[in-house]
Amino acid sequence: MAFDGKLEPAAEPVLADWLDWLAHEKRCSAHTLDAYSRDLGRFLGFLIDHLGYVPGLKDLANLQATDFRSYLAFRVNQGLSRTSTARALSSLRNLFRFLARRGLIENTAISTVRSPKIPRSVPRALDPVEAREVVTRAGDLPLEPWVGKRDVAIMTLLYGCGLRISEALALNRKDVANLAAGDVLRITGKGGKERLVPVLAVVAEAITDYLSACPMERQALFLGLRGKRLNAGVVQKNMRHLRHQLGLPDTATPHALRHSFATHLLGGGGDLRTIQELLGHASLSTTQRYTEVDASHLNAVYRDAHPRARFKE
């Protein structure tokens, strides 16, 4: 993977090697690689102004903790969130560890810099009735009937299987061949980690309806109007239109359907370990955030509004 950076020309291939290592050895997703590349580019751009010249590897080795803290302060002044700044610092630590393992430079100063504290927040789940409306009304927007069925299938996967939007859009036709209720989907999540997700009847039906209506047959399951793999931005745009139509808050995003899947399962008596496996969370602590939701309320609505009720009255 090439890197269009702001480092001495002789050192830039090392950065490209790092990104290639992340892609092939650590199996980072394209989304993660783009984020790491942007983080690195922003950091090197900062260093040019901070140092007054284009840095080389030797300059990276000589950076002090105060230099890294200045970069964090720079990001704050740019209005960047604590979450993205913590990720950016993690990216840099990863790079410096890579450079040390390759015997290129050694810099221990970055390990002394603390990450910004990130406020702990409970994921905002949709009300079960709202989630059901999103799924059933997703097909009302497009002019092309097959596109409407596509959008229903996507929203059904997010809420009915708890997939990330990137995971749903990465599916290929062969992954859902002869799909039926009771089958499982093999999902590749973050870090290339695989998990098996059970398929509910409503999910299998939505995908089958879409495939029957789609006029194009490609490797990718979900296609755009031009026959290419669908972009996440299209799904997010459709969700914004649905929010407007249904009067939902800005927190009603495609990812909120995944949160709703987990929250409603927990409210229905699902155990954390099982939900952790279904979501593909590496840490149980991530899943435990859902215990802060009002489970007593969810128990009352789960039986009628979860996908197991087939989104029907």
Catalytic, out of 93, 124, 190, 289: 190
Q: Is 244 a catalytic residue?
A: no
Residue 176 neighbours by CB under 8 Å, 6+ apart: 185, 207, 211, 221
Q: Is 258 a catalytic residue?
A: yes
Angle 254-267/232-246 helices, nearest 10 degrees? 70
Catalytic, out of 75, 149, 281, 306: 281
Q: Is 241 a catalytic residue?
A: no
Q: Is 290 a catalytic residue?
A: yes
Could you give the 3-state DSSP secondary structure of residue 28? Answer: coil
Catalytic, out of 82, 93, 137, 255: 255
Q: How would you class 68 by CB atoms within 10 Å of its CB: exposed for 0-12, middle for 13-18, buried for 19 or more?
A: buried
Catalytic, out of 258, 259, 264, 306: 258
Task: Read off the tokens for 69.
Answer: 């803290």
Nearest residue to 140 via CA among 261, 220, 223, 246: 246
Residue 231 neighbours by CB under 8 Å, 6+ apart: 169, 224
Measured between alpha carbons, how far is 114 from 169 in angstroms, rounded to an integer? 36
Looking from the CA of 209 toward its CB, the CA atoms found within 13 Å total 18
Strands (E), the chain: 184-188, 194-198
Catalytic, out of 164, 243, 259, 306: 164
Contact 150, 188 (CB under 8 A): no
DSSP letter (8 states) at residue 191: G
- Residues in a beta bridge with 195: 187
Catalytic, out of 36, 71, 210, 290: 290
Cα 22 to chain centroid, rounded: 17
Q: Is 31 a catalytic residue?
A: no
Task: Read off the tokens for 239.
Answer: 């969700």
Contact 28, 22 (CB under 8 A): yes
Looking from the CA of 313 toward its CB, the CA atoms found within 13 Å total 1
Catalytic center residues: 164, 190, 255, 258, 281, 290
